[in-house]
Structure 1
């Protein structure tokens, strides 16, 4: 009888210990840990995005006396000197901040997130990212014609990366958590949880595997919850009522998509041509934003709608409150203002400006179509909405998530087919002309081509030094032809590498160099390897990546290449074969996919 209490106590202790160990095993599972971190990240990013938006409004109130996002209404009441002074002095401060506080001395945004995910396993510098967020906030605050969503995405990614680095997460988990930060930022910015998750999958991750996508969805929902808790559950824009869309109107949406594609192409080309022209200015780089601010102020004296994010003017266009001439004038002015702002070094994104450009284009197009065909049911507001989606999708290169953002921002799904038709058409037109979107163009300017996605980056991450044969058979330049003939018949690739005594590669000898002498020794004479060597063979450097090797093998038609230390010394260090390159790539790709999909 006396042992019963002790037995009960022992059982309780054993149960408690088992529960603790069970909880530890549960938390050790990557997917469980990732789910918890995704929730924390989503909530944190949601709060940060709200703070970012409120910071922009604070600067608008401080510099322009604006009480809400309809900045241009406040600008109309300001003296001309203030309209010129604020963006000019603001640009000067921003230029100095960029060149004094950011490592790369340039604004940061979504392109940096894509680069980090693809090339750096989701690692982003935390404090530099926070400084970039402040610079982006100030840029929009002084009236730069840029967007707030791109900087919000960058801020969300920086926060997620900070968490993963603090916890020392493995690369697959760090990459997924980075995508969680992106999704939460998009969803909190647009009150669009579905679009946030799909944007992360479409633009950053590049796939929708369940193991990666499930935490992204969770984080996106968490970000939306925080945004709705502060701003309420309301659509960003409201549309006037319109009739049921007839199938006869679909050709007009396709035509609008074509125009939107050309418009997006012109906008993108204008931004990057402005950047190139700015490099020729007789001014230091830190002064470029000040010059851009002055030009922006001059435009705003005539068209104040071009300042800032532009959602106030977009709302007016959606509700048919702008005349045709004003829509066209603001369309031209906004495109010029965006080119100046982004081309001359202000920090900010492209999404909001592309929405406004699309709204002006769609609104003007709708007025013209209705004047020709009065029976059209979509109304000018409907065409404005379609134009917004078409220009934004072509600019960002993200048709799926852009279409969903439009639907979730307006709460209007009656124009689903019209928006999708225009989005697909505009994206196709832009890709046909320039082949890239805003983010890949930014990366291309840095010498980065990420078109192939993560699979291509796996190939680029592998170095030739990892797969080359370090001790291949070589021959000296003075080797007699009879010996060359014997050696080449025994070589597995029917190729010999002729190397000087000091290790310098002289060239290669193949059967084609031997010609008739391959099987006929009558004309050997005093000939040596140096007499028939091919002195400029295709080759690669030791520190080149495997993509370079594949490209050179394809161009030359040869399956084996010489490897040199560098192009200056030409010191021969080995050979690399096509089959070894492919085997290394397959191993790395399978290992990567095993980590991501848990197969």
Structure 2
């Protein structure tokens, strides 16, 4: 005789925890998710330490492979500045071609895509390849930032943890957000900005169910790397701020021009993406590397680490001509690198563009009104915030990032004043899409972000399904089934038929049929009853995994045109156990209780 499974058995405990995580609006489920967020953040912080170790190696001993011998790339001779970006891009292209299968997508846009179309499951192989190739991209002077790989590696760590624990897909999605936030926080020591970025750009929602664990993960990621020197960038902003209220109209004008620059970067990236889509990986990355090398001849600062160039702009050391040329050159190389899908990110290059163009506009303002103009370094800061907010369509992320990096609270008022026209104009010329949304649309993907889709992605079938179910065979043994239903009444019967069809029938219909057959002395109760002989409404049902979200359930009902879903846990070996039933009206009630 098989012993009953005890309540404290590990399998029972895991199943109970999964059920709690399926409904994260419920306090115990949210608490568990916060604990898992802390674990994800710590794991991600350790990975970011490894990432920076690889980047430092490429910029140190590994630089010999790129032709550098104790010289920083942007300080090297013209031939080196031309050839190293080209060689680095070709090496990256070769590695990606050899190690990844099409479509070979990386970066933040890929994380968003996996959240929408793959329930947050990110391939570890892709993250590992990006881990090393993004470090090579940074060392070879490509116009990419490290925030893309930090977010992708962090998101992959959260996805891996959720997959290992076999968590519901809605919880996996949240852990992916936790990993993305932790990666950025650990890399830049900006936990609050990382949280805002994840909520505004990656998750595109604000709920307590995701907000709380993402905050915990960002703090854990930042604390993991906090005590290590040299890993976090710093902005050395000049102390003078806004000269006077007479500058406010000019700040609005600067914001408008930053919006045009952000729109130009988005549109140029989209146009180049369309052209590059028909080219092999090696060709498009080679073209991006060649563009970086050619523009580095007159503007070697485009090859420097991003925050080095930004600090030059903040110190007002660029001058009008150099700042303007550098900003435009960086815009061109960033568009090429992003469209070619060189691993990394577009946010740090956008910071450089905003700082350079802001510094140029500040210098121009000083020439027009010397007695009423603030320092060009002040406009560099304003340009950074306006540029990144307009590019990502994430105003809160832009402002919080500036405040955390510069520790200048007086930037809030002029920064907000420049940000709004930048955002309005950027949306006007990009059709309302941020650069990441544009990249998704170029891949033929549609990110549904309406309130209904948001809610359905956060909810699990486990929290909504009807558990009042019994699985029986067809044809039916009426005597045995009646005794079973009297002992344990259920609402639904799942009938497994010989031709492998699955049908749902209400148990009340079967009981009525059996009672009527007993009362009819001429017919009597048969030894076996076929489902087709039972009057009543029968539903064709298809299977869905217990880890699925309500969004997956809704999509599967639409795709298969089934009447209902039955919830299983897919496993190898024997048949998958059935946990419940989900009808279209159950999904409707979940959103409209």
Q: TM-score, normalised by structure 2?
A: 0.70
2:446 counterpart SS class: coil
Corresponding residue of 2:543: none
**Distance between the aligned counterparts of 1:137 and 1:588, measured in 2?**
45
Q: Is the 8 A contact 1:265 1:395 kept in 2?
A: yes
Instruction: Return the offset for 1:263.
Output: 0.5
**Distance between the aligned counterparts of 2:428 and 2:454, measured in 1?**
24
**Distance between the aligned counterparts of 2:233 and 2:133, measured in 1?**
28
Corresponding residue of 1:447: 444
Corresponding residue of 1:299: 295
Q: Does 1:389 align with 2:388?
A: no
Q: Is the 8 A contact 1:249 1:376 kept in 2?
A: yes
Q: Does 1:408 align with 2:407?
A: no
Q: Is the 8 A contact 1:256 1:422 kept in 2?
A: yes
Write out aligned runs for 1:460-479 (5 A): none
Q: Is the 8 A contact 2:106 2:341 kept in 1?
A: no
Q: Is the 8 A contact 2:48 2:186 kept in 1?
A: yes
**Distance between the aligned counterparts of 2:46 and 2:259, measured in 1?**
35
Corresponding residue of 1:176: 174
Instruction: Return the offset for 1:460.
Output: 11
Instruction: Return the offset for 1:400.
Output: 0.7
Corresponding residue of 1:494: none
For the aligned residue pairs, the C-alpha RMSD in angstroms reads 3.6
Q: Is the 8 A contact 2:174 2:214 kept in 1?
A: yes
Corresponding residue of 2:362: 366
Counterpart of 1:261 (choices 259, 263, 271) is 259
Counterpart of 1:119 (choices 117, 120, 130) is 117
Instruction: Return the offset for 1:262.
Output: 0.3
Corresponding residue of 1:102: 100
Q: Is the 8 A contact 1:117 1:175 kept in 2?
A: yes
Instruction: Return the offset for 1:326.
Output: 0.7
Q: Is the 8 A contact 1:235 1:410 kept in 2?
A: no
Corresponding residue of 2:228: 230
Corresponding residue of 1:350: 346
**Distance between the aligned counterparts of 2:456 and 2:344, measured in 1?**
32
Corresponding residue of 2:41: 42
Q: Is the 8 A contact 2:52 2:231 kept in 1?
A: no
1:231 counterpart SS class: coil
Write out per-residue CA displacement over residues 244-276 of structure 1, whole angstroms, 9 at most, x where no aligned residue. Answer: 553332222211110000001111111222233
Q: Is the 8 A contact 1:156 1:184 kept in 2?
A: yes
Q: 1:366 to 1:36 in 2, by over 3 A?
A: same
**Distance between the aligned counterparts of 1:265 and 1:30, measured in 2?**
42
**Distance between the aligned counterparts of 1:100 and 1:585, measured in 2?**
45
Instruction: Return the offset for 1:65.
Output: 7.0
Write out aligned runs for 1:179-578 (5 A): 179-231=177-229, 236-243=234-241, 246-279=244-277, 284-307=280-303, 309-376=305-372, 378-434=374-430, 435-450=432-447, 452-453=449-450, 455-456=452-453
Q: 1:380 to 1:584 in 2, by over 3 A?
A: farther
Q: Is the 8 A contact 1:395 1:437 kept in 2?
A: yes
Q: Is the 8 A contact 1:450 1:457 kept in 2?
A: no
2:239 counterpart SS class: coil
1:146 counterpart SS class: coil
2:145 counterpart SS class: coil
Write out per-residue CA displacement over residues 86-126 of structure 1, whole angstroms, 9 at most, x where no aligned residue. Answer: 22222222112222222334340111211222332222112
Instruction: Return the offset for 1:155.
Output: 0.9
Instruction: Return the offset for 1:22.
Output: 12
**Distance between the aligned counterparts of 1:221 and 1:34, measured in 2?**
15
Q: Is the 8 A contact 1:72 1:304 kept in 2?
A: no
Write out per-residue CA displacement over residues 290-317 of structure 1, whole angstroms, 9 at most, x where no aligned residue. Answer: 2322232122122111125422111100
Q: Does 1:91 align with 2:93?
A: no
Corresponding residue of 2:54: 55
Structure 1: segments with no counterpart, 5+ residues: 1-16, 462-545, 548-562, 566-572, 576-582, 595-599
Q: 1:313 to 1:25 in 2, by over 3 A?
A: same
Q: Is the 8 A contact 2:362 2:373 kept in 1?
A: no
Q: 1:168 to 1:79 in 2, by over 3 A?
A: same
**Distance between the aligned counterparts of 1:346 and 1:219, measured in 2?**
27
Q: Is the 8 A contact 2:154 2:182 kept in 1?
A: yes
Corresponding residue of 2:574: none
Structure 2: segments with no counterpart, 5+ residues: 1-7, 21-27, 459-549, 552-557, 564-581
Write out aligned runs for 1:113-192 (5 A): 113-192=111-190
Q: Is the 8 A contact 1:459 1:585 kept in 2?
A: no
Q: Is the 8 A contact 1:327 1:363 kept in 2?
A: yes
Q: Is the 8 A contact 1:245 1:414 kept in 2?
A: no
Q: Is the 8 A contact 1:140 1:308 kept in 2?
A: no
Q: 1:387 to 1:307 in 2, by over 3 A?
A: same
Instruction: Return the offset for 1:32.
Output: 2.9
**Distance between the aligned counterparts of 1:592 and 1:56, measured in 2?**
47
Q: Is the 8 A contact 2:188 2:232 kept in 1?
A: no
1:230 counterpart SS class: coil
Q: 1:586 to 1:210 in 2, by over 3 A?
A: farther
Q: 1:456 to 1:325 in 2, by over 3 A?
A: same
**Distance between the aligned counterparts of 1:157 and 1:454, measured in 2?**
23
1:448 counterpart SS class: coil
**Distance between the aligned counterparts of 1:329 and 1:574, measured in 2?**
60
Q: Is the 8 A contact 1:271 1:339 kept in 2?
A: yes
1:322 counterpart SS class: coil
Q: 1:325 to 1:63 in 2, by over 3 A?
A: farther
Q: 1:126 to 1:243 in 2, by over 3 A?
A: closer
Q: Is the 8 A contact 2:37 2:178 kept in 1?
A: yes
**Distance between the aligned counterparts of 1:36 and 1:417, measured in 2?**
37
Q: 1:183 to 1:574 in 2, by over 3 A?
A: closer
**Distance between the aligned counterparts of 1:77 and 1:419, measured in 2?**
33
Q: 1:587 to 1:387 in 2, by over 3 A?
A: farther
